[in-house]
């Protein structure tokens, strides 16, 4: 009788596991790690390549608009991505530069691959509604009238940093950091006039100005990549207007 009483609960456990589609591990069976590109703990299986292919930098470089040029900004993206297990991708900053003598302009849209791009939510939690940022360059920038009317899926709740955190925008507790450096027109291309829109091609932390977008798409045209110009290129100037020197990072592969 005692043995029968011990057998019934055990039977119920195995029946319940079967009903839950093997959610409960059998004795001796190892539960596979849900890595999704996150660096695993010591001794756990090697992670799969991160599925996150877009993020907003969680921190700037602390030097205002001086990012060390495009190379410095790309390296910052790569470091932040590697710190969360997404370093297998090649990351580029979404930044344009303006033409200088002997130096052609560079368009942000030409630096970031072809898409599609997914945010942190897709990498960690599966594929919720806000996971995909955009299917391709045309959708991201609204190249056609229909695409422009529809808009991309880059808005406050989807424009997350590499840790999955939403960037503070209008109405959120301080500090508001929604002004994102781009140096770009709404179509993702560099400016062609004589004014400085890129803090001297991302090398100045004093004079000049930078074009920014708003990650929450609130205020000054509500554009994610081209809302307004900053009041200067120093760290203080960026922070005084709701920025912090953050920028967008896209995986090109």
Query: Closest Cα to residue 136, out of 158, 161, 154, 156?
Result: 154
What is the reported pTM?
Answer: 0.80
Q: State which H helix or E strand residue 79 sits in.
A: helix 69-83
Residue identified by tokens 């390296």 is 75
Distance CA 49, CA 123 (A): 10
Q: Which range marks the domain in which residue 172 is found?
A: 54-251
pLDDT value of position 227: 95
Quick check: is 46 in a domain?
A: no
pLDDT value of position 148: 82
Quick check: is 32 in a domain?
A: no
Quick check: is 131 in a domain?
A: yes
Alpha helices in 111-241 (DSSP H): 120-125, 137-141, 145-150, 199-202, 235-240
Quick check: is 149 in a domain?
A: yes
Quick check: is 100 in a domain?
A: yes
Q: Are 252 and 225 in contact (CB under 8 A)?
A: no
Quick check: is 22 in a domain?
A: no
Q: What is the CATH number of the domain that holds 213?
A: 3.10.100.10
Query: How do residues 52-82 score in pLDDT, each as one tens digit?
Result: 999 999 999 999 999 999 999 999 999 999 9
Please state the domain count of the chain: 1
pLDDT value of position 27: 42
Quick check: is 7 in a domain?
A: no
Which residues of the chain have a pLDDT value below 70? 1-50, 122-130, 221
pLDDT value of position 12: 44
Q: State which H helix or E strand residue 83 sits in.
A: helix 69-83
pLDDT value of position 64: 97
Quick check: is 182 in a domain?
A: yes
């Amino acid at each position: 009788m005692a043995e029968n009483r011990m057998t019934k609960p055990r039977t119920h456990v195995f029946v319940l596991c079967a009903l839950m589609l093997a959610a409960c591990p059998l004795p001796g069976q190892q539960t596979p790690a849900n890595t999704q590109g996150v660096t695993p703990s010591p001794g756990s299986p090697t992670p799969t390549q991160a599925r996150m292919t877009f993020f907003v930098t969680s921190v700037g470089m602390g030097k205002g608009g001086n990012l060390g040029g495009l190379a410095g900004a790309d390296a910052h993206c790569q470091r932040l991505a590697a710190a969360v297990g997404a370093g297998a991708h090649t990351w580029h900053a979404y930044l344009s530069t303006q033409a200088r003598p002997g130096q052609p302009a560079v368009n942000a849209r030409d630096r970031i691959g072809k898409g599609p791009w997914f945010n942190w939510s897709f990498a960690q939690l599966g594929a919720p509604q806000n996971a995909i940022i955009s299917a391709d360059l045309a959708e991201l920038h609204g190249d056609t009238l229909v695409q422009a009317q529809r808009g991309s899926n880059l808005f406050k709740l989807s424009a997350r940093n590499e840790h999955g955190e939403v960037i503070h925008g209008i109405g959120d507790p301080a500090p508001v950091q929604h002004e994102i450096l781009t140096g770009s027109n709404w179509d993702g291309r560099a400016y062609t006039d004589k004014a400085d829109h890129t803090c001297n091609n991302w090398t100045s932390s004093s004079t000049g100005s930078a074009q920014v977008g708003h990650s929450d798409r609130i205020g000054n045209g509500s554009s994610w990549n081209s809302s307004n110009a900053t009041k200067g290129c120093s760290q203080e100037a960026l922070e005084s207007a709701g920025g912090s020197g953050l920028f967008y990072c896209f995986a090109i592969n």
